[in-house]
Structure 1
């Protein structure tokens, strides 16, 4: 596999108010509403940040997978979407590892596979191949016009077995972790000890951490060590 990069992080929430809060605090632009997520019993908002994306999904039925996720633990990190230039190899690797691919799609401009969270741990892992590589169908037809300044620099996953889960995600992504850390082309995944197995933090580089903190305070949110809780996720503001 030539490269693997972090392209999108997803929060599942009970209300779209979480999307509004996220956009306000981070200074995000206009959201894309993807009608395709209705297939999964969802409505959503997708925001471009640089050439990466933050998404909030809200289930329209409690029987939807995201509805069951919320019933287990409330709002929180739901999915991490990675981009590769060789999805065929990633699919073959998942099959060899007996990691279930619960959804697959092949379109002219993008192909993707969702890996079962029970087989990798903590969250749904999606591996996608966009054609051309700079494009991103899931961001909407004109996401470049609405992209905010910034970047997703990493994520933190809690688990009782950090090195074990890092190894499993590493196998799926085709990257050998060092301890509990997976270094991607453009971001870092950190697996840390925790009683709840979950995607718990998104690291987001923003143009002005102080301004983002002020916007969070205006919404009644506490910012501690440049981290603010939104939708059950610790948004770590990085300068």
Structure 2
């Protein structure tokens, strides 16, 4: 099974974006990972059902996220993280697909590989293979080596790119999933999630919209950190 697990926003000022997202998601205190400091970042990871929304901000000059913010012209959806089988992260498979790795971490409970955006044609993409299933180290101790009881999560993510048809074909090969809906939409999580590519206004790829289903909520929506968030009750997903 392969599924979208985390959407990452890049923001010049993390605190205000974090506050707005926490209110929208009705999320408790998020997890702050000191490990992102090696990339010159600070962050927070907020639970959204069984999936997550992260906000990163540069803490020093010369970071990849900082350069993306400058090219994009403001806050926005910077990265997607996908949870899949171990074969997804195999180095020989990625080499055969002619995609470069910009980061690889191999830990007892997860293999985490970040792919070069110039080779994917889209936003920064992380491929993760976790053990046990449902765990997610990047969300903190409660999700490391186990999976708390949860329901709902990401249902659809929209990414604006210069060439939607070409990028959708590229990502279908990288994720080993089918392309549907006239070549611009991918199915994940056995059809429960969709990843859509649309025409972007510029030449910088960015996540522009996120749809989530969460238990015990009313339908609501908000524009936060350059991304349109749409929340629907779990029973309507």
Name the TM-score, length of structure 1 as normaliser: 0.86
Does residue 38 of structure 2 align to residue 29 of structure 1? Answer: no
Query: Which of 189, 194, 200 is residue 194 of structure 1 equivalent to?
Result: 200
Pairing of 1:2-81 with structure 2 (within 5 A):
3-16=1-14, 17-73=16-72, 74-81=74-81
For 2:141 and 2:129, locate their aligned partners in 1 and report how far apart those are by CA, in whole Å: 17
For 1:105 and 1:99, locate their aligned partners in 2 and report how far apart those are by CA, in whole Å: 17
For 1:80 and 1:89, locate their aligned partners in 2 and report how far apart those are by CA, in whole Å: 15
Hey, what does 1:230 align to over in structure 2? 224
Decide whether the 8 Å contact of 1:87 with 1:112 is kept in 2.
no
Decide whether the 8 Å contact of 1:100 with 1:119 is kept in 2.
yes
Q: CA distance change for structure 1 residues 59 and 87 in 2, over 3 Å: closer, same or farther?
A: farther
Pairing of 1:68-107 with structure 2 (within 5 A):
68-73=67-72, 74-87=74-87, 90-107=90-107
Query: Which of 182, 191, 213 is residue 205 of structure 1 equivalent to?
Result: 213
The alpha-carbon deviation at position 146 of structure 1 amounts to 8.8
The alpha-carbon deviation at position 56 of structure 1 amounts to 0.5
**1:136-187 CA distance string (max 9 Å, x none):** 1101002589988641112001123211110011111111312111000141
Pairing of 1:155-174 with structure 2 (within 5 A):
155-174=157-176
The alpha-carbon deviation at position 50 of structure 1 amounts to 2.0
Unaligned 5+ residue runs, structure 2? Answer: none
SS in 2 for 1:134: coil
Decide whether the 8 Å contact of 1:9 with 1:53 is kept in 2.
yes
SS in 2 for 1:30: coil
For 2:29 and 2:161, locate their aligned partners in 1 and report how far apart those are by CA, in whole Å: 34
The alpha-carbon deviation at position 126 of structure 1 amounts to 0.5
For 2:175 and 2:90, locate their aligned partners in 1 and report how far apart those are by CA, in whole Å: 7
* Farther off after superposition, 141-150 or 153-162: 141-150
Q: CA distance change for structure 1 residues 81 and 62 in 2, over 3 Å: closer, same or farther?
A: same
Unaligned 5+ residue runs, structure 1? Answer: 214-226
Name the TM-score, length of structure 2 as normaliser: 0.87
**1:26-59 CA distance string (max 9 Å, x none):** 2111100101100111100001122211100111
Aligned length: 222
SS in 1 for 2:141: coil
